[in-house]
Amino acid sequence: MSKKIEPEKLRVGVIGVGHLGAFHAEKYALIDEAELIGIFDLDHDRAREIGQKISAPVYNNLDELLDHCQAVSIATPTSSHFTLARQALLKKIDVLIEKPITTTTDEARKLIALAQKQDAVLQVGLLERFNPAYTNTRPLLLNPRFIEIHRLSPFTFRSVDIDVILDLMIHDLDLLAAIVKSPITTLNAVGVPIISEQIDIANVRVNFANGAVANLTASRVSLHRERRIRIFQPDGYFSLDFSNFSTTICRRQAGNYLEPFPKITSEEHKYPQSDNLRLEIEDFLAAVRLRRRPTVSGEDGLAALETATRIKEAIRIQSSTWQ
C-alpha cells in the first residue's frame, strides 16, 4: 500500500444508519483520531434522527458524502454491499463493510481486486476477532482436534433479508478458519426456516484436511443467548464464552507412582467487558493510517462467505430429500 497518512483526524462517513450503522456512527463520533464528516441513509428520517442524536451532518446525496471522506463504514442490507463498496473504492476511499462482505463470492472477489487496484483498505466487520476471550486465548490454540460452536439468540426481526448462516454463523466460520488454518475437505449441513422465510437454525459438521473436526450450531430462534466455542486439543480443553468475555482452560497433568492417573487442572479467566465494535473500528482506522492489512481483510471475508455458500448448498441438497 501507499505511504502512511500523517497524524491528523481521518475524515470518515457512515453509509446506512439502521441498528448497526447507528453504532458505527456513534463510535466514530467518540474516537479522537476520526472526524465524522457525515452519514447517509435512504431513510432520510432515520438519518436525521441519528444525525441529531450524535450531532453529525446528514447527507442526502451519497456522492457528496464520498467526496468529503477518506474512509467509510457500510452497514446496509447485504444486497447493496457490492454496489456501495464499489462506488467508494472507485473513489479510492477505504472501506469497512459489515458482514457478510457481499451476497456472492463473485462479488467479493471483484471488490478485493478493486481494492488492490485502488491501493485501498478493505475490511470486513467480523468483530468476534476482537473479543478478549478470543484474543487472549488464540496463542494457546496450537493443535485443535475437535471444535464445538454454539451461537444462539432470540429472533430480532433484523437481517431477515439473509439466513442465519450469513447473519450469525458467518462469525464462527471466520473464527474457525483463523483457528484451524487448514482446508475444508467435506461438510454436512442441515437447516430449516422457523419464523422467517430464510433458514433460521442450522447445524454443520466440518472436516479439515489436517484431521480436525468442527460442529457448529447457529440459531436465531432460541429462547436464550449463547456465544461459546469449545476447543479440544492434545494438551487441553478451552471453553471461550464470547458473551461473558471469559475463558475456561482445563489441562491434564501427568500422574506419578503415588497417583498413577492424571489430574485435571482448571483455570478461569474473566476479562474486562470489551467494546468489540470500537476495537474493530480502531483497527480499521489504524489500517487506513498505516496503510496495512486490517485484522479481518476482504480475503478473510471471502473465505467465510465461500464456506457459508458451501453450507447453504449442502442444506439445499439435504432439504430436497425431504420433499
- As given in the structure block, the three cell numbers for residue 239 are 471453553
258 has pLDDT over 80: no
**What's the Cα-to-Cα distance from 75 to each of 80, 122, 249, rounded to whole Å?**
9, 14, 36
91-98: average pLDDT: 98
Percentage of residues in the chain with pLDDT exceeding 70?
95
36 has pLDDT over 80: yes
Which tens digits make up the pLDDT trace of 40-52? Answer: 999 999 999 999 9
| Higher-scoring residue by pLDDT: 165, 255 | 165
pLDDT at 8: 83
Coil, helix or strand for 312? helix
pLDDT at 82: 98
pTM score > 0.85 for this model? yes
* Residue whose C-alpha cell is 451532518: 57
Peptide bond into 100 cis (omega under 30): yes
pLDDT tier, 2 (very low <50, low <70, confident <90, very high otherwise):
low
What residue ranges do the domains of the chain occupy?
Answer: 10-126+277-292, 132-273+307-320
For 132-273+307-320, the fitting CATH number among 3.30.360.10, 1.10.8.590, 1.20.120.1760, 3.20.20.30 is: 3.30.360.10
φ, ψ of residue 38 to 5 degrees: the values are: 170, 175
Q: Are 95 and 123 in contact (CB under 8 A)?
A: yes
Does domain 10-126+277-292 sit in CATH 3.90.1010.10? no
- As given in the structure block, the three cell numbers for residue 261 are 492417573
Burial 44-82 (b: 16+ CB within 10 A, else e): eebbeebbeebebebbeebeebbeebbbbbbbbebebbb
